[in-house]
Amino acid sequence: MAKSLGFITHACLLLWTCAAWAEPVHLDYLQERLAPDEEATVQRALNWIVEVYERQGLHPNPNLRARIFNNYQEFQSYQHAHRSFHDGSQPSHSGYYSIGQRELVTWRHRSLLPLCIHESQHALLRSDFPRPPKWINEGLSECFEGFDFSQQNPIPLPQAPRLRKVKRLLNEEFGRQVLEVASMNEREFNRLANDRGLDSYTRGWALVYFLWSQPGGEDTVGELLRCLKRGDEAEEVLDRLVNGSLEDQLVEFYRQLPDPPPRRLY
């Protein structure tokens, strides 16, 4: 009898834990709402990101705040009134995540849905890892922007604009340049955000997307996040996680990826 009660208690706890683990993301709209089909797409993506982080031992808060403006002028007015740039960052033309206000702020433009996924990733990660290195935080957001979330199991496709730039600048020094991002502090990352060569966002994306695309990539990225969270040096962690020369593997990986379709000019 005691064993039966113990089994039932364990089963109930397991069901409760799974229910809590599966809690869906909730978007609290502070301005305009997404359309139902837009919200379904974003919701599917964010629920999956939460599941990934839960599997990797992180505990993101699934309750997010979104401030979506109808036009660029309203967005820019709000940004200039509520955002400081003491960290060397520049005003955004599309959207940002406000750490102080704990809200993603954007406006209704043609890249609204990828932008919502990008900025929401920041909110989810920071809710459990308050000070992630900027390269991994932005690298993950850029990486998730390119995923195909229309399938039951999302497909990790490369982000086309980033891949175009990588293909254009790919040379023997590419691997070394990408790995430099792992030693950048936030101010250095922001200073190189608009670099005409390999900007810091492209480097962060290239490193994270490479790691994710390897066999067991989700677990590799998860281990990297756990190590960074406890304060380990990124370069040392990467040396432990990747066999052989990471610089050479980055060059070879991006050389073998097919070129993305040309950018549409209309």
Tell me if 25-81+93-130 shares its fold with 132-259. no
């433009």: which residue's tokens? Answer: 109
User: Which of these, 23, 125, 32, 26, lies nearest to 71 by C-alpha position?
Assistant: 32
Per-residue pLDDT tens for 86-113? 877 889 999 999 999 999 999 999 999 9
Question: Which residue type occupies 91?
Answer: P
H/E run at residue 175: helix 174-179
What is the third-level CATH fold of 25-81+93-130? Answer: Glutaredoxin (3.40.30)
The β-bridge relationship of strands 103-107 and 95-98 is antiparallel
Residue with tokens 């997010």: 64
Residue 153: the pLDDT is 85
Least confident of 82-86, 166-170, 193-197, 262-266: 262-266
| Complete DSSP assignment for 8-62 | HHHHHHHHHHHHHHTPPPEEEESSBPPPHHHHHHHHHHHHHHHHHHHHTT-----
Confidence at 264, pLDDT banded by 50, 70, 90:
low
* Residue 242, CA atoms < 13 Å, CB-side half-sphere: 24
Helix (DSSP H) and strand (DSSP E) numbers for the chain: 12, 4
* Summary mean pLDDT of the chain: 90
CATH number of 132-259: 1.10.390
The predicted structure's pLDDT at residue 188: 95
Give the burial class of 222: count Cβ atoms within 10 A of its Cβ; 0-12 exposed, 13-18 middle, 19 or more buried: middle
Nearest of 183, 184, 182, 189 to residue 211 by alpha carbon: 182
13: pLDDT strictly greater than 50: no
Query: In the chain, what are the domain boundaries?
Result: 25-81+93-130, 132-259
Q: Is the pLDDT of residue 261 over 90?
A: no
